[in-house]
Structures are given as C-alpha cells and as structure tokens.
Amino acid sequence: MTSLNLLMLGPPGAGKGTQAERFARIRGIPKISTGDILREAVHTGTEIGLRAKRIMDRGELVGDDVMIGIVKERLDRPDALAGFVLDDFPRTVAQATALDEIMAGRGPLIVLDIVVPESELARRLDMRMICENCGTNADGNEPTGVCRMCHGRLIQRPDDSSAVVLERFKIYQRATKPLVEFYRNRPTFRSINGAQAPDSVTADLAAAIEAVGNGRVNGAGGDRGR
C-alpha cells in the first residue's frame, strides 16, 4: 500500500485511543482524534471549546458538520499524506459517507472494529482517569496519580460518570454501532477481540493490517473477534 490509512471503531472504553497511539508511534503516522482536538479547544477556552464542553459533559455527540470540517482540515495537512490513524471519527453513517468523499484518491481505508462486552466496558470506564491540565488519558502506569506528560493531577473524566456512561452507551447503540454494518462487507474491514490484554489486541490488529495489505480478505487474521 502506498499509504497506511487506519480507522478504529468500537464503543467507549474499547481501547481505541490506546491502540491508535501505539500504531501511530510505531508506523510514524499521525493519530487523528477529534476527541483530542475538541478537548484541546476546551482546555484553551475557545468559543467552540466551551460549546463542545457543554455537549460532551452531557455525554452527547458534537454535530456532524463540525466534526467533518475538523477531520477534513486535519487530513489535508502534509503529515497525513503518508497515512493516519483515525480515532473518534466517524461516529455516524453521515460522517462515514463524508469520509468516503474525503478519502477519494488517497488509497484504501482499513477499518478495525474493536469488540468488547458491555460489562467490561463499564468496568474500564469507571476506572479511567485523565489529566486535568493537558487532557492526556492515563495508561495505567501512573501509580502516583500524576500525568506522565505534564505531571498534572489525574481525575475522572466528566463524561465517564455513571449516568453519562449509560447515556453514551445508548448513543453508541443508536447512532454509532450502525457504522459496523456500513463497513462490514468491505474487504478492508476486520473485527478484533478487544477483551484481551492490550499487547494481544495490538498483535491481532497488526495481523489484520498485514492481511489486508497482502490482499488476504479471508485470512486467519481477518475476523478474530467474532
């Protein structure tokens, strides 16, 4: 493949962000997360950031037009021409349709669906922490409760509270889960078992990417989560 274009799918707490960061670092391509972009705007106190904060704190999704514009601008930057890892986008079929238009002429889009049981997702989200200063997600290796990036204090994300988590599950089932059906029949789609240890998930993702790259649409690494 001339470029490595990855899209991570999965519900909140599936580990998309962790795996996206790993692959971006290993492959030398940017991780593009609309969640990170929006949280940065929230932290800097911009107008769009304050609007987004009110929406995200309720566990709701930012509108398609805003998200599509953010992603299109980001994918047009020079560092994304050799490939990218998309996390948090698309979240709706409308966004996925817009992404197909954005991707025209850019090479294949590999879609990786990370599957985790709902009970495990709830447990993970209840334990997830974020830096109150820079917004970096804790990776479980901060025993002192201090951010590994800026040494800020780790807190629970407002959108990980019990009430908001339940609302986010409902939103995922209603709006985002249909993305799996949108992509499922494409030869570049793979389903991955995300209930494993992170290193095992990484290995399965790498095998799926290799299989797609070699054109083995029905290979052993192709549908290991279902």
Asked if residues 3 and 107 have their Cβ atoms less than 8 Å apart, the reply is yes
Catalytic choice (39, 53, 74, 168): 168
CA Rg value for the chain: 17
Q: Is 16 a catalytic residue?
A: yes
Residue-wise DSSP of 39-72: HHHHHHT-HHHHHHHHHHHTTPPPPHHHHHHHHH
177 is catalytic: no
Q: Which of 31, 39, 74, 157 is flagged as catalytic?
A: 157
Active site residue 157: yes
Q: 91 is written with which tokens?
A: 């979240």
Pick the catalytic residue: 16, 22, 39, 190?
16
- What CA–CA distance (Å, rounded) separates 95 from 185? 18
The answer to whether residue 72 is catalytic is no
The answer to whether 186 is a known catalytic residue is no
What separation in angstroms does the CA of 211 have from each of 113, 165, 187, 218? Answer: 15, 34, 10, 8
* Annotated catalytic residue, options 22, 31, 39, 128: 128
Sign of CA dihedral 1, 220, 192, 147: negative
Which residues, at least 6 apart from 60, have a Cβ–Cβ distance to it below 8 Å?
167, 171
Active site residues: 16, 91, 128, 157, 168
